[in-house]
Structure 1
Amino acid sequence: MASKFDVSQQKGLMAFNGFMGSKSYVEGFQFSPADSEVFSKMAGCPDAKKAPHAYRWYVHIAAISGVRGLSSGAAAAPAAPAKKEKAAKKDKKADKKAAKKPAKEDDDDDFDVFGDDDEEEDEDAGKPKETRAEMLERLKKEANDRLTAKAAKQRTMVAIEVKPWDTEQDLNQLWKKITTEIQQDGVKWGENCHLVEVAFGIKKICMSFVMGANNSSDDIIEQIEALEDEVQSVEMTSMNVL
């Protein structure tokens, strides 16, 4: 999706501006590597009047990325011409005196869209500036870390059917044995089960468990099948991410 816009060109930037008319992010509803990819291709901050949606998105992604000191692009107004020759000479002398003093930084040349105060700027003055390549690498790492953290919290519900060997087995007792003896960190068994008739009076146990991202449903099924004197077979019927 991100690769379809050549935002380095004016035509591609305007197409991207229209695309972002009702969006906060390039893909989905949260910051992703797709935003980093488009951001890295832009030569600078889009014009707020010509491309307001692209400008809004750019400032937002810059804030997430920690980019500071975006140029406002405002041009300084030209000075009014002197009305009298005497005033012109006076101004010339003043210019010579000003030339001997260190030039004072023009506050309008560097507009901080994030509203940082002078104290924060002083704290950052001694820190090395982040290169564009370093910034892109950091953005990709942060996006991958967020995806990894989300996956680590993922929980999955698995439904299984356990078939016994004959009709004389106590299936409630077998269910209790399975949920008591087969334990793993991150696995939680359902609080109950129900019995469904298969054929010729034989019933099967329909039960479930919830597991984490580091657990394996195959391992749990193999442990149940290891109870070979009591279990004929185990079949997984569904798996749903919570």
Structure 2
Amino acid sequence: MVRADVATFKAISSAPDAAKYPNAARWYKHIASYEPEFATLSGDASKPYTVYGPDESELTLNPAKAPEKAAEEEDDVDLFGSDDEEEDEEAARIREERLAEYRKKKEGKVKPAAKSVVTLDVKPWDDETDLEALEKSVRSVEKDGLVWGLSKWVPVGFGIKKLQITLVVEDDKVSLDDLQDQIQEFEDYVQSSDVVAMQKL
């Protein structure tokens, strides 16, 4: 124990809260146990506690302000930042170049056209209708985005057969309603047509 301890002890009005400041409370209790010996210590007892210790201290007398200072210091330190501004500019330039390349590639890619496989039933008027002429008429319809596929004759009853034909259409280019209207124009052979199945490719 030295004179500085005594001066600091006397400057504190009461014992620190042991729950909040356990080390300070322990120190205060320890110094208090030597109170009868204060007068025997060497040094000037009249000096205030402020003359002891270093000229400047980084410690704050108000602990409530300490977090603010710590926050300021944290703001000054950028752990993930670049020390060199030119490095940041270079990284930004490279990133922009890569983004531009990506956009260019994305624009260059043409999305495949949406297509559907359709099964169409085309019914003749009766059993005397020329079925070959009926199929030839149907297949004569040509459109951009239309591809005719396989066909077969399916018995309906009373000796009548209907044409069942598959086709692939590009959805954006071919309207099935318009296609059926065109087929219906072959009125010598076609009584009606129906879409019986449709599946996206």
Q: Which category describes the TM-score, using the shorter chain as reference length?
A: 0.3 to 0.5
Specify which structure has the bigger relative contact order, considering alpha-carbon pairs within 8 angstroms and separated by 6 or more residues: 2
- Tell me the TM-score normalised to structure 1 length: 0.40
- Tell me the TM-score normalised to structure 2 length: 0.47
Please tell me whether Structure 1 or Structure 2 has the larger radius of gyration of its CA atoms. 2
